[in-house]
Amino acid sequence: MAETAARRTGRLAVIAGSGMLPVFVAEAARAAGENPFVFRLKDEADQRFEAFDGVSIGVGDMAGLSALLKAKGIGRVVMSGGVRRRPHFGEIHVNLRSILKLPSALRTLLAGGDDAVLTMVIKLIEAQGVDVVGAQEIAPGLLATTGPLGAHRPGDDDRRDIQTAAKAAEVLGRLDVGQGAVSVGGRIVALEGVEGTDRMLKRVAELRAEGRISSRRKGVLVKLCKPQQDVRADLPTVGLSTVAEASHAGLAGIAVESGRALIIEREAMLAAADEAGLFVCGVDLGLPGDLM
């Protein structure tokens, strides 16, 4: 895909959902000499993009997106940031290039998991004659590397929790449900659903306060890319809020998939983790043993 994008002429566009990731992607593109155009998704994008050329657009407005892609000479699109809700039927506007895909697209929106929806969106965008590229291609410095990333390292109990949670997260991903799992003392205590990672961690904190989770054992959050996932969209992402919620939940640390997960505000996030006494590490599912 990267080679195709390299051959494609035309401007880069950033489709911006919620969170800081779209800002980092747009800034990385500009630093590389690009002049990115930002599509701010209505009711989703929550950052300011005044420094960039762009427009606000509805989540389901494929016709408007297609017209602007052509008008702005855009040849590549990167999807970044969160999207909390799926568009209602009345918000969906299609053009001739995507109308043939509408029946299957509607079925996917109604019944498909997040990965299925994102794959469908990528196909609809590519039908407009542009390439979809991954955020990691534009901002490779955000990718997690293998091993401990901060001052703290996982102990033996933590490594066992990493292995347990990684197995659960992989199964969860195959079901197209979520990307994260929490293991405490070798026991899976939480799986990520549509609520997202931060709210899952809040639930862990509540369970801990209620005595449903051991207060003597800390535990680990693991986030993995879904095995079948198209890596051009929705890579696992962690940042400052993840550290705050993991600390509040009493966890020992956070493990993400190296090369297939993004770390937002890396320096600030690792500094916060160091201060809170949490480890942050990248794991490689291809490695035997403790994955590091």
What is the reported pTM? 0.85
Q: Which two tokens stand for residue 23?
A: 């800002």
Contact by Cβ (8 Å): 20, 264: yes
Contact by Cβ (8 Å): 40, 68: no
The C-alpha atoms of residue 235 and residue 196 are separated, in whole angstroms, by: 13
Question: Which pLDDT score, from 0 to 100, does residue 115 have?
Answer: 63
Question: Which pLDDT score, from 0 to 100, does residue 97 have?
Answer: 60
Question: Which pLDDT score, from 0 to 100, does residue 203 have?
Answer: 97
Which residues sit opposite 263 in a β-bridge? 238
What's phi and psi for 275, nearest 5 deg? -65, -35
Question: Which pLDDT score, from 0 to 100, does residue 1 have?
Answer: 40
Question: Which pLDDT score, from 0 to 100, does residue 100 have?
Answer: 54
Low-confidence ranges of the chain (pLDDT < 50): 1-7, 89
Question: Which pLDDT score, from 0 to 100, does residue 59 have?
Answer: 81
